[in-house]
Amino acid sequence: MIPLRIKVEANADVPFVVRLRSFEAEGLQPTSRQMHPFEAALKRVSTEGAEYVGEGGSIRVLGIDPSRIDGDVLLVNPRRGTADRLIRSTSPHNTFLVTERCDQVCLMCSQPPKKHHVDLFPYFQAAALLAPEGTTIGISGGEPTLFKAQLFAFLESVMDARPDLSFHVLTNGQHFSEDDWGAMNRIDRRRVVWGIPLYSSEAAVHDQIVGKSGAYAQLMDNLALLCRFGALIELRTVLMRPNAPGLPRLARFVATALPFIQTWALMQMENIGFGRMNWKALFYDSSRGFDFVGQSIDFVRSRGINAQLYNFPLCSVPEAYRHLAPPTISDWKRAYRERCEGCSMKPACGGFFEWHPRDHGYSNLGVLQ
């Protein structure tokens, strides 16, 4: 796996954000251009680590080749001796976990909620401003809109300063209101996609999956409100045994009641967190039973709605639908099986989650050459 947290030593008392630069790797010298105040340049590499120096002082990075972190933006915690790679310069999968609190308890949640919250928005803002040009940054949780005022202020500030950046915000959609008109009008809505889950066209099924009575009704109200706001919506449906038979009904509902969405994403489960605890009861083997999925995708696409398959290995998908299955599993938690070696489709395939079980999962994987 790609490490998102690395060991460091820093001569500071409080956390700080820094972008690491190796000017020698670029054929430059640190003095050949003005250093950004939040940058640190590689000074030397030894058996003790890679030492960087900038306006904020020095930092030593341990246990990782400097070429793998050149241009990365770190949140350094000197007291813990660690740094989180908030922005990896060569990766399209950069996400800020803004909170671990959530007001839903989804059966398959990969990031089970916690009660505590640490406000890191100032650090995330500093990191976003240092991101490579054209970056799309994910915002996740927990539930980010539990801290809606901070979230909107963050989006407005960063988007004003960096018109090249865009955002993808994962939210359960429970906390929008008419009072958000002003905040929505102050951001460029074309550069923010709201990823919102809907698990069934039946309120009882959706509420059972998310563990919250009345969640479906609130979500319907807020999806209509977001439509009026002109928000870009990626509707997300995790495929599970409780909702798989109802997918065709959900497809008809999406096409008739929610035609304003940008994308409908059908997603495979992740075997971690609550998903691991409930795996055998929830996992739906789409490699054996793709009919529900195929019928649903065909219907919404026939109505002009974009549909995608997220987290599906290509060999688990019938050939006619593989072009709808982009490699969505983040690079830092993506893995391949021995059977993937030599497959010509591997570069286009998202593979498996690193923690996908080998003894309970897809039972009818095809053979791709």
Task: Tell me the pLDDT of the chain averaged across its residues.
Answer: 94
pLDDT, average across residues 22-51 = 76
For residue 354, pLDDT beyond 70: yes
Could you give the strand order of the β-sheet that contains 263-267, starting from the edge strand earlier in sequence? 94-97, 136-140, 166-170, 192-197, 232-238, 263-267, 306-310
**Percentage of the chain modeled with pLDDT above 90:** 89
How many other C-beta atoms lie within 10 A of the C-beta of residue 196?
A: 22
Superfamily of domain 94-353: Aldolase class I (3.20.20.70)
- 14 pLDDT more than 50: yes
pLDDT of residue 22: 87
228: left (phi over 0), alpha (psi -120 to 50) or beta: alpha
Q: Report the Cα 182 to chain-centroid distance in Å.
A: 26
Per-residue burial over 111-147, b = 16 or more CB atoms within 10 Å of its CB, e = otherwise: bebeeeeeebbebbbbbbbbbbeebebbbbbbbbbbb
The string of pLDDT tens digits covering residues 236-263 is 999 999 999 999 999 999 999 999 999 9
pLDDT interval class at 10 (50, 70, 90): very high
Enter the pTM of the model.
0.94
Mean pLDDT of 63-86: 96
**368 falls in which pLDDT band (50, 70, 90)?**
low
Alpha-carbon gap, residue 235 to 223, rounded angstroms:
10
pLDDT given at position 367: 66
pLDDT at 56: 81
Q: What are the residue boundaries of the structural domains of the chain, listed by start?
A: 5-87, 94-353
Residue 32 has a pLDDT of: 43
- pLDDT for the residue 119: 96
pLDDT at position 33 is 54
Q: Locate all alpha helices (DSSP H) within 46-144, ordered by sequence.
A: 121-128
| Confidence at residue 366, expressed as pLDDT on a 0 to 100 scale | 77
| Of the candidate ranges 66-75, 90-99, 273-282, 358-367, the one whose mean pLDDT is the lowest | 358-367
First-last CA distance in the chain: 26
Q: What is the pLDDT of residue 154?
A: 98
Spatial neighbors of 161 by CB under 8 A, at least 6 apart, are: 129
Residue ranges of alpha helices (H) inside 173-321 are: 181-185, 203-210, 215-229, 247-257, 274-277, 279-282, 291-302
CA distance 356 to 341: 18
pLDDT digits (tens, 9 = 90+) for 302-347: 999 999 999 999 999 999 999 999 999 999 999 999 889 889 999 9
